[in-house]
Amino acid sequence: MHNNSASEAYKAAGVDITAGYEAVKLMQKHIARTTIPGVVSGIGGFGGLFELDLSATPNPVLVSGTDGVGTKIVLAFLMNKHDTIGIDCVAMCANDVICCGGKPLFFLDYIGMGKNIPERVASIVNGVAEGCVQAGCALVGGECAEMPGVYHEDEYDLVGYCTGVVDKSRILDPGSIAAGDVIIALPSSGVHSNGFSLVRKVFNIDAKALATHYDELGGTLGETLLTPTKIYVKPILALLEQVQVKGISHITGGGFYENIPRALPDGLSAKIDQASLQIPAIFDLIARTGGVSERDMFNTFNMGVGMCVVVAPELADQAVATLRANGENAYIMGEVVAGDDGVIFA
């Protein structure tokens, strides 16, 4: 295939078609890891095919999410480490899809780059595939675009798109949330994929800064910051099967103040027990080094809570136990109260 497809003129302009074919060859083994029932087509066609099994979903509603990884990608460039940034990309999309109760089905990625280095592209896709495995969805397609003049040779951008399905009767209804309901925290793995423009400013990020070891972090700054975003799909789906969940918030850009109220109806707010929060050391280091106020920290970062769920008080213990049985060190971090304050710390 593609034996006769080559253009010396295009290559002289900075785009090597044959490098793209080599990248596809190298990434095939990673994509194969993500195959699940429903995958109809392999990569290489004009579209990815997925057959829906709706036997358990009488009123299917498709759920879609798309996102990138923001300026966290700059750390991958500086550290020349490209095999985890794809996990972040999947996480940012799949974690959003489950916020309404949807189950991720398939994923597509887009990589725009200054120069197609097949081994680097395969490393990126390896991370995307790992993210898909963690999310239980299939990588059914993608696009690599070599764009000299738009990106430098050592730069690229990564964007993902995820589609899931949920039965209409099981879409989470924020209108069911009431004062007295309990808010449960699911810990983050660190900074995840938001707030990195501030992080880069605080530490004046370069290769030297990333290689700096901090005892409180138990490693280098780069190792800590590049830790992939946690994917919550499987524990949340397990929870939804056993407990009636009223609302879910994915804590991304905007931190607590923006994201928790998105799952609450008008007239209700979240009262957070600040002493209960399990805040990783990286956030204290950011605040201390950059002189960042507590308000700005909670309005920018996840502060150790990657996702939170709202349940009735009588189901709180069961919800925590179910999440813990599925690998999440969940804990109660607050409650829903009357008022339009959004988020209140107590």
For residue range 239-255, list pLDDT tens digits in order. 999 999 999 999 999 99
Distance (Å, rounded) from C-alpha 161 to C-alpha 136?
15
Q: Residue 172 above 90 pLDDT?
A: yes
Per-residue confidence (pLDDT) for residue 239, from 0 to 100? 98
Distance (Å, rounded) from C-alpha 216 to C-alpha 73?
24
Q: Residue 13 above 70 pLDDT?
A: no
Distance (Å, rounded) from C-alpha 101 to C-alpha 225?
29
- pLDDT class for 91, splitting at 50, 70, 90? very high
- CB within 8 A of 84, min separation 6: which ones? 76, 127, 130, 226, 227, 228
**Least confident piece of the model among 43-47, 153-157, 227-231, 296-300:** 43-47
Q: Residue 15 above 90 pLDDT?
A: no
* 70 torsion bin: left (phi>0), alpha (psi -120 to 50), beta (else): left
Please give the average per-residue pLDDT across 168-172, as a whole number: 95
Per-residue confidence (pLDDT) for residue 3, from 0 to 100? 55
Please give the average per-residue pLDDT across 199-227, as a whole number: 97
Tokens found for residue 288:
């201390």
In DSSP terms, 167 is beta-bridged to 60
Count CA atoms within 13 Å of residue 243 on its CB side.
25
Q: What is the DSSP letter of 339?
A: S
Q: Are the C-beta atoms of 89 and 68 separated by less than 8 Å? A: yes
Q: Residue 23 above 90 pLDDT?
A: no
Per-residue confidence (pLDDT) for residue 47, from 0 to 100? 84
Please give the average per-residue pLDDT across 114-141, as a whole number: 95
Per-residue confidence (pLDDT) for residue 10, from 0 to 100? 64
Q: Is the pTM of this model over 0.85?
A: yes
Distance (Å, rounded) from C-alpha 212 to C-alpha 225?
12
- pLDDT class for 2, splitting at 50, 70, 90? very low
Distance (Å, rounded) from C-alpha 88 to C-alpha 86?
5
